[in-house]
Amino acid sequence: MDKLNKELIQVKNRLTKIELQIDSLNTEYQFLQDKLHLYFDSPTTDTTDTEKYIISDFWSTAYNKYLDGGYITNDEYISEVRFAYEIQLLNKIIDKKCNAKEKAVDICCGNGRYTEEFDKKFDKTTGIDLSESIILENNKKIKHIDFINADFMAMDSSQLGTFDFVFVSDIFTYTNQENIENTFKNLLKLLNKKGILVLRESTMIIGYEDYKSRNYVAYYRNAKFYEKGIFKHYFKKSYRNYAYNLYHLNKYFNVHKNAKENIRKDPQLLNQVVKDSVDLNLRTCHFYVYKK
Ligand SMILES: C[S@@+](CC[C@H](N)C(=O)[O-])C[C@H]1O[C@@H](n2cnc3c(N)ncnc32)[C@H](O)[C@@H]1O
């Protein structure tokens, strides 16, 4: 046998060994997934602590993994336009619904970009986030705002005092059914007499989607969920965040060549564009306003 054939037989043998390892890893992978999801999906087991760990682990790396860790995207256009749209809408909500402008808190503040915008409107603004690394960075970069590293779900919210404006980003998207009522009560405790609570939550217009069983923990609830039940008594108004659906506009941008630039100049154009061009079955996002 010549040298080349000997070498090729070695290659084939190595491939066979690798295939065996892959099979064994696949079996272990499936076993581990099944174990996690068997308990996650059971209505009688409490997996809150594991869910919290998964969320915390996900967010502690998101800001390094993505150009825009808060929105989980590497797309600069989506990041810029979505932020501009959301801030315009939030400023409108604050101007319309917020009667006092002394104290504000941004819970789940991430990299503090919303906190900085709120700080322009209120005398004093505080940011809170679960991710230690992002809070360290914020405190280095943004000296005039206090950023606190804490798990809002585990902290005694009465330590924080009360506020005119409480903004919370996606906390219920990461909260299982068992902990909804407690979390909402803790948020209401933060409101002073004139205060408003604004939630930004990922939602569905039609139905709901539970992502707990797909290597990530997120509850995409029906948009009406946050207006009914325990929320009903305090609920004032909801606004659809059309900028969330920028992720779904590829086809539209491909056909309408000037649309991207026009929307960059006036992000509120998204209200109509998304209404006309995005499937209602896809995930979206809402802002909800509550008052005590
Ligand atoms: C969707 S990101 C929003 C970040 C930021 N508001 C933005 O839009 O760029 C969600 C943030 O919530 C934080 N978070 C999730 N659960 C939390 C909790 N229980 N307490 C405090 N922060 C939490 C995560 O660390 C993450 O930074």
Residue 84 lies in a domain: yes
- Same domain for 278 and 150: yes
pLDDT single digits (tens) 92-127: 999 999 999 999 999 999 999 999 999 999 999 999
Q: 37-41, 193-197, 210-214, 271-275: which has the minimum mean pLDDT? A: 210-214
- Same domain for 235 and 93: yes
Mean pLDDT, range 55-78, rounded to an integer: 90
pLDDT single digits (tens) 183-193: 999 999 999 99
CB of 112 closer than 6 A to ligand 1? no
Mean pLDDT, range 13-35, rounded to an integer: 95
- Same domain for 154 and 70: yes
pLDDT band at 207 (very low <50, low <70, confident <90, very high): very high
Look-up of token digits 């209401």: 188
**Residue 131 CA, ligand 1 centroid: distance in Å:** 8
- Same domain for 140 and 64: yes
CB of 198 closer than 6 A to ligand 1? no
Q: Which domain holds residue 68?
A: 57-291
Q: How far apart are CA 235 and CA 239, in angstroms?
A: 12
Residue 50 lies in a domain: no
Q: 28-37, 78-87, 88-97, 214-223: which has the minimum mean pLDDT? A: 214-223
CB of 218 closer than 6 A to ligand 1? no
- Same domain for 191 and 148: yes
Residue 169 lies in a domain: yes
Contact status, residue 137 vs residue 64, Cβ threshold 8 Å? no
pLDDT over threshold 90, residue 91: yes
**Residue 110 CA, ligand 1 centroid: distance in Å:** 5
pLDDT over threshold 70, residue 214: no
pLDDT single digits (tens) 230-257: 999 999 999 999 999 999 999 999 999 9
Look-up of token digits 């539209």: 252
Atom of ligand 1 at shortest distance to CA of 113? Answer: 9
- Same domain for 226 and 158: yes
- Same domain for 204 and 65: yes
- Same domain for 282 and 168: yes
pLDDT for 287 equals 98
Pocket test for ligand 1, best of 53, 133, 170 (most atoms within 8 A of CB): 170
- Same domain for 105 and 37: no
User: Cα 147–152–154 angle (5° rounding)?
Assistant: 130
pLDDT over threshold 80, residue 209: yes
Mean pLDDT, range 137-152, rounded to an integer: 93
Taking the model in full, what pTM does it have?
0.90
- Same domain for 231 and 107: yes
- Same domain for 96 and 194: yes
CB of 241 closer than 6 A to ligand 1? no
Residue 73 lies in a domain: yes
CB of 57 closer than 6 A to ligand 1? no
Residue 102 lies in a domain: yes
pLDDT band at 59 (very low <50, low <70, confident <90, very high): confident
Residue 187 lies in a domain: yes
Residue 113 lies in a domain: yes
CB of 184 closer than 6 A to ligand 1? no
- Same domain for 86 and 200: yes
Residue 51 lies in a domain: no
Q: How many domains does the chain have?
A: 2
Contact status, residue 201 vs residue 221, Cβ threshold 8 Å? yes
Atom of ligand 1 at shortest distance to CA of 106? Answer: 6
Pocket test for ligand 1, best of 57, 81, 108, 173 (most atoms within 8 A of CB): 108
Q: What is the CATH number of the domain that holds 277?
A: 3.40.50.150
Pocket test for ligand 1, best of 169, 172, 198 (most atoms within 8 A of CB): 169
pLDDT over threshold 80, residue 79: yes
Residue 103's contacts (CB-CB under 8 Å, 6 or more residues apart) are 122, 123, 124, 125, 126, 161, 162, 163, 164, 165, 192
Q: Return mean pLDDT, the chain.
A: 94
